[in-house]
Structure 1
Amino acid sequence: MSADEVPADASAAKMAASDLGELSPDSSLAVGNNVTLTLQSDALFVNDPKTKKDVRYCGLQVVASTASQSIPFYDILSAQISDSALILKYAKPVVKDDYTPSTLTYALDNGQTPPAKAEAWVEQLLKSAYGQAQRNKRLRVLINPHGGKGYAKDLYNEYAAPMFEAAGCKVDVEVTKYSGHATDIAEKMDIDAYDAILCCSGDGLPYEVLNGFAKRADAAEALAKVAIAMVPGGSGNAMAWNLFGTNSVSLTALNIIKGLRTPLDLVSLTQPGTRTLSFLSQSYGMIAESDLGTEHLRWMGAARFTFGFLTRLLRQVTYPCDISFKLETDSKQVMKERYLEYKKQKPPLRPIGCSEEVIGQGLPALKYGTVDDAVPSDWQTISTDTLSNFYAGNMAIMSADVNFFPAAAPNDGLIDVVMIDGAIGRMRALSMMTALEKGGFFDYPEVEVRKVHAYRLVPRGGKDGYISVDGERIPWQPFQVEVHPGLGTVLSKSGHLYEAQGPI
């Protein structure tokens, strides 16, 4: 089937000529073979009268399929005029959540359609297709060759690269060679040469990139200028799930192409003598052990986390610790109300480049000091011997089916903290785990939820164990965390909401 013979779907076939008459004359463009291209409210309508073929069943004609179709503006990748021809490239749905680039080419008659009109129409189409998103993004792509059970590079080349090419993106690809390589690349890269850095991996590579930027003298400038995004290539892929709501490589590529530059809260984490950045989560207890303590089960994919959780749940393991925090609110109702108000706000998109205030600036100063300082006097402290789970995060979910924070927002300036006591019993804990996947977890009375500005956790009762930051293991030592509102920049679909949000 040739590219200009894409069959219509049922809804497009119902669009009659009377609909076109209601539109501005400038919204339609006549091209070769009596085809008319019309810009509608949310789609490009291709009115192509030629009949492709009769669809027959038992020798009887059922329907005449035409080449007319409606293409959502979001799926339009590029449009250009070359050698008296109009070339349109768009993301064509293949199966659920999977797309492939496709091309439509139409001859232009300069007598019928003056070049100036055609160029103006193309610009109008691209404005409708991209809105506030940046066109022709300059992308630095880092691929972890061990991600996705070793298939990350193949996934990128087959499903993402063709989409970026069709959209006219400038792409610079590098395969990472060792643990920490992405940190070294980010620390030394020319931040004026790229609009975004893409991590084809799990969540480990974005973590490395952030901390590469953090090591720069102009850290704040780098974090504002260069957006970070993920092409799913690991087992968790939380960044992609949160910002784009999908684990599909091709759909993620489309979302990156149309992605909006979004400020993202980051946190600083200090341990004795160190300071690192985190974008996703910090966990201690059963969640951390279920993630980091099952590395030998990576062949199981995301199921390894469930397996690790259940084995520890049956043993009723608890994790003594002292936790101090600068509290904003512990009312779930207040959190819900604030989130619903936040949803109504206009997305605070970050402009291309950065503001003059951050040019040349490093990381912001720590408002609450480090873990080596005394706990501030206005913080609250909890000492517990029966904690089963501690999870703090900047994003709504930690993987596709684990939704901790339905009231989380990319830039609300707060850290969401969940604590669960280990004395609740196995059956109740199993019920809560099911609720993580199906909704309702947030409303369990046993689930303590707080929104905080900062916190400190001091583990007790052991010489070693698991503490996870963005899925990476850190030393078994006290750590302190504080939020930096809007310090980072990511590409997102909405500009201010997480796509993987659960019920609220």
Structure 2
Amino acid sequence: MASILEDDPFKDPSLAGTSTPLSQPPFAVNVPATLPVGRNASLTLGTDSLVVLDEELLESRGANCCGVNLAGKNKTTRSIPFFNILWAETSDDGEIIIHYAHNVSKKVVRPAIISYKLDKPESNLTEGWMERLLERAYGASQRQKRIKVLINPFGGQGGAQKMYHKHIAPIFAAARCELDVEKTQYSGHGVEIGQNLDIEAYDAVACCSGDGIPHEVWNGLSKREDAARALVKVAIAQLPCGSGNAMSLNFNGTDSPSLAALAVVKGLRTPLDLVSVTQGDRRTLSFLSQSVGIVAETDLATEHLRWMGSARFTWGFLVRLLGKTIYPADIAVKVEHDNKAAVREVYRAESSKPPLTHDSRPLPPAGTGLPALQYGTINDPLPSSWTLVPHDHLGNFYAGNLAYMSPDANFFPASLPSDGCLDLIRVRGDIARLTSIKTLLAIAEHKFFDLPHVDYQKISAYRITPKNQKDGYISIDGERVPFEPFQAEVHRGLGTVLSKSGHMFEAKGV
């Protein structure tokens, strides 16, 4: 076997000089990187891909075979990225079967299979090689996740159920995930599901919806007596089937249902800051954003334009920006980083770290509820360490956990999943129309952070009190709440999501 590894032109350079495989099971000891699967074919664990060597591929006339890229001019080889490998198994008659997601287009992947009948099956060798393949494919990610799937048939343009069966379910099935599928029946149903969820039975709740169902599930988990434990133990994921798919854009790096399903299959447990918002005698958890002014109106006042998809946000934003609409308010904040240079430094320090290999948070004891509010509620006196500033010409107040609000709105390029901070922007509403247009273009071009008239800070808590208005729009995670003062504070790493990196958003940073 040693000669196969030493002579193999496709061997992984990271294995050079050692015969010890990455996997630990006894049957995987001394398993080579290359597995012969016929007289003229072999499978090799490369640096970042599975390399298939098969002389029969010469018979293919095209530049692509079975959805797998052919390597170079020598069409006897093809490669499958490890990230796309979903599962590997052997049949009773000695056939090795590898399931993977092949790229139909830039926005769609579908399950596919390669299989070879082994001439001389060696069970220990084959099982050991497949274990190494799956280790490369999944790394620190959990295999065969137990997923509670929630389908919202009412969200967005109403196509969630069709999207699930066509684009998502096949990926989950090929990855051998354990699924429990349920359709939400009415507004608030996700809250009930989260509140009554058996947290020992599932690793994740995947919401085939917009951002509304994840918001409901988190708030359902927050109502439990063991809220802190439930929020850490069960990861929440979004599979983009709504008009607002910010969560998927941030953690899956896509608003494609099939690519998002693949990202969830391979997703790493990632701590996420959650925010307690108090208004009146109510306490709500927020995972996405809180806004007053132009962004809130852009979202909530364009509900009648859902047929436009995510374009309704751009349209609503432009109309109000050009109209120089203002939303007067008094704002008090607990600032952690008060200038763009400091914000940029924090972001770059975190982004330079390697991907996490595990979730290091301890699991809270059973019966542990939500953390106490450090700064009290909206009904308590304003903390003395906060500074209250009147904003008589406010155009937009937007505090958020995530970087993207929509595909073309990277509002918070310095945002981090678990830094204990909200990213805050404040923009005057009476800026010149030309400046307004430049602002909109800067968002699409990922240059919003550097605009001189944009005030960008990292804060851990705030209070906002609208004034000189009888009514208006306040948005919490895209949901409309009463038009009255509210207070917010961050709980670092209280929630759990699945992400591709384990500690960063899939967004262009600063």
TM-score (norm 2): 0.90
Deviation at 1:455, TM superposition (A): 0.2
Question: Is the counterpart of residue 235 in structure 1 residue 235 in structure 2?
Answer: no
Taking the aligned partners of 1:447 and 1:181, their CA distance within structure 2 comes to 38
Shift of 1:490: 0.1
Q: Could you say what secondary structure the match of 1:390 adopts? A: strand
Residue 291 of structure 1, CA deviation: 0.8
2: distance between equivalents of 1:357 and 1:298?
A: 40
Question: Residues 448 and 171 (structure 1 numbering): CA distance in 2 closer, same or farther, change over 3 Å?
Answer: same
Residue 228 of structure 1 aligns to a residue in which SS? Answer: strand
* Structure-1 separation of matches of 2:358 and 2:198: 19
- Cα deviations by residue, 1:323-352 (Å, 9 ceiling, x for unpaired): 001111221011111111111234456549
CA distance in 1, matches of 2:9, 2:321: 64
Residue of structure 1 equivalent to 2:222:
214
Q: For residue 67 of structure 2, what is the aligned residue in structure 1? A: none
Distance 2:107 2:75 in 1: 25
Q: CA deviation at 1:423?
A: 2.3
**What's the offset of the Cα at 1:17?**
5.9
Whole-angstrom CA distance in 1 between matches of 2:261 and 2:57 = 33
Which residue of structure 2 lines up, in the alignment, with residue 291 of structure 1?
299
Q: Does 1:107 align with 2:117?
A: yes
**Separation of aligned partners in 2, 1:21 and 1:435:** 43
What does 1:459-478 align with in structure 2 at a 5 Å threshold? 459-478=466-485
Return the letter of the residue paired with 1:247: D
Q: 2:456 aligns with which of 449, 467, 472?
A: 449
Match of 1:35 in 2: 41
Secondary structure of 2:273's counterpart equals: strand
Alignment of structure 1 residues 67-86 onto 2, 5 Å: 68-83=77-92, 84-86=94-96
Q: Which amino acid aligns with 1:18?
A: P
Task: Choose 368-377 or 342-351, whichever is displaced more.
Answer: 342-351
Q: Tell me the residue number matched to 2:101.
A: 91
Q: 425-434 or 154-163: which moved more?
A: 425-434
> 1:364-399 CA distances to partner (integer Å, 9 max, x unpaired)?
000010000000001011112110000000011111
Letter in 1 for 2:113: T
Q: Which runs of 5+ in 1 are unaligned?
A: 1-15, 57-62
Deviations 1:265-310 (Å, cap 9, x if unpaired)? 1100000110010001000001101110111111111121222222
* Preserved contact between residue 92 and residue 100 of structure 1 (Cα < 8 Å): yes
Counterpart for residue 418 of structure 1:
425
Does structure 2 retain, via aligned residues, the 8 Å contact 1:55–1:64? no
Shift in alpha-carbon separation, 1:289–1:53, aligned structure 2, 3 A: same
Map 1:23-62 onto structure 2 (within 5 A): 26-53=32-59, 55=61
The CA deviation at 1:204 is: 0.5
Distance 2:444 2:314 in 1: 11
3-state SS in 2 of match to 1:235:
coil
Q: Could you tell me how far apart the structure 2 residues matched to 1:386 and 1:237 are? A: 31
CA distance in 1, matches of 2:408, 2:108: 20
CA distance in 1, matches of 2:335, 2:322: 33
Aligned counterpart, 2:340: 332
Give the alignment's Cα RMSD to 1 decimal: 1.9
CA gap 1:105/1:134 in 2 versus in 1, 3 angstroms: same
Partners of 1:436 and 1:323 lie apart in 2 by: 24
Aligned to 1:172: 180
In 2, the alpha carbon distance for the partners of 1:360 and 1:469 equals 27
Instruction: Judge which range, 180-189 or 355-364, deviates more.
Output: 355-364
Q: How many residues align?
A: 479
1:429 positional shift: 1.2
Q: How does 1:148-163 map to 2 (within 5 A)?
A: 148-163=156-171
- Deviation sequence 1:17-64 (CA, Å, 0-9, x none): 6345987661111113532111111111111112453649xxxxxx99
- Per-residue deviation, residues 468-504 of structure 1 (Å, max 9, x unmatched): 01110011111000000000000000111110234x1
Amino acid at match of 1:431: K
Contact 1:53–1:64 (Cα < 8 Å) also in 2: no
Partner letter of residue 439 of structure 1? H
Report the secondary structure of 1:267's partner residue.
strand
Corresponding residue number in structure 2 for 1:371: 378
* Cα drift, residue 356 of structure 1: 4.5
Structure 2 counterpart of 1:355:
362
Give the distance between the partners of 1:349 and 1:188, measured in 2 at CA.
Answer: 31
Cα pair distance change 1:27/1:501, threshold 3 Å:
same
Deviates more, 1:467-476 or 1:29-38: 29-38
State TM-score, norm by structure 1: 0.91
Provide closer, same or farther for how the CA distance between residues 475 and 38 of structure 1 changes in structure 2, counting only shifts above 3 A: same
1:264 aligns with 2:260: no
Equivalent-residue separation in structure 1 for 2:190 and 2:81 (angstroms): 36
Change (3 A) 1:380 1:44: same
- Structure 2 distance, partners of 1:171, 1:180, is 22
Which residue number corresponds to residue 10 of structure 1? none
Retained in 2: the 8 A contact 1:155–1:249? yes
Q: Which stretch of the first structure deviates more once superposed, 218-227 or 311-320?
A: 311-320
Conserved? CA contact 2:291–2:398, under 8 Å = yes
Identity over aligned pairs, percent: 51
Residues 178 and 277 from structure 1, CA distance in 2 versus in 1: closer, same or farther, beyond 3 angstroms? same
Cα offsets for 1:81-136 (capped at 9, x unmatched): 22111111001111113111001121124xx4421111111111111110000000
Equivalent of residue 300 in structure 1, options 294, 308, 317: 308
Distance 1:320 1:415 in 2: 21
Between the aligned partners of 1:429 and 1:140, the Cα distance in structure 2 is: 43
For residues 488-503 of structure 1, the aligned pairs below 5 Å read 488-502=495-509
